[in-house]
Chain A
Amino acid sequence: DGGITQSPKYLFRKEGQNVTLSCEQNLNHDAMYWYRQDPGQGLRLIYYSQIVNDFQKGDIAEGYSVSREKKESFPLTVTSAQKNPTAFYLCASSIDGAGGYNEQFFGPGTRLTVL
């Protein structure tokens, strides 16, 4: 059963804590992405990775960090430096990230709430 999984579905964080959101895909896709979605808004790109061991900042990278040690995994850490982290976080993947006309496939999302 191929797809993208994200965990946990809901996450609560106290102010000042770092938390890590998991994203795994078994689609054999090279590229992976993290987006943030706030109520009534479109998706904004946080980080992306075209290939293993490489990643680039998106439009709103401040306060976040990522790693891409394995092709199938792209975890996102929300650090205490992120001023307003409460949001819905979406992970996506595509066959490749350079050129091409490939849609991005999305995971089910993680809703992060700061208490």
Chain B
Amino acid sequence: GESVGLHLPTLSVQEGDNSIINCAYSNSASDYFIWYKQESGKGPQFIIDIRSNMDKRQGQRVTVLLNKTVKHLSLQIAATQPGDSAVYFCAEKGLMEYGNKLVFGAGTILRVKS
């Protein structure tokens, strides 16, 4: 979920275990959500997205779940690998006066122990 300042939530998992990263979003009218992965010193990379007309979407080793009732999004990573270590952001599509924007959460640090 959201966090303030330098104290990002951290998830530590053993290599090979499944990871679940959670995110609470703010706008009940948001209809599009994205998960990004950001490695240290790099730009965010797209992982998976989901529209609000879906509850679940699967990719390669990743699954995103959307619960609109409680405005909650989760990212599940199967068989977590050391290369999955990064900061993970959820983003919701918001509206601007012109066009769309993405509203990002503060992120969750995923640490994979070998």
Contact = CB atoms under 8 A, between A and B. Distances in A.
Instruction: State yes or no: do A and B come from one complex.
Output: yes
Contacts of B104: 42-44
B100 A99 contact: yes
Contacts, number: 73
A50 to B, nearest CB: 5
A103 B46 contact: yes
B44 A90 contact: yes
A103 B49 contact: yes
A27 to B, nearest CB: 13
Interface stretch (A14-22, A64-72, A75-83, A104-112): A104-112
A56 interface: yes
Nearest to A96: B99
A39 interface: yes
Interface in A89-115: 90, 92, 97-101, 103-109, 111
A107 B44 CA distance: 8
Contacts of B34: 103-104
Nearest to B109: A40
A98 to B, nearest CB: 4
Contacts of B44: 43, 90, 106
Contacts of A56: 96-99
B107 A42 contact: yes
B44 to A, nearest CB: 5
B43 A97 contact: no
Nearest to A101: B32
User: Looking at B96, B99, B107, which has the most chain A CB atoms within 10 Å of its CB?
Assistant: B99
A40 B6 contact: yes
Given A48-B99, A56-B98, A108 B43 contact: yes
Interface in A6-41: 6, 31, 33, 39-41
B106 A97 contact: no
A45 B93 contact: no
Cβ-closest 8 pairs across A and B: A106-B43, A42-B104, A40-B6, A97-B99, A98-B99, A43-B104, A42-B106, A101-B32
Interface of A: 4, 6, 31, 33, 39-45, 48, 50, 56, 58, 90, 92, 97-101, 103-109, 111
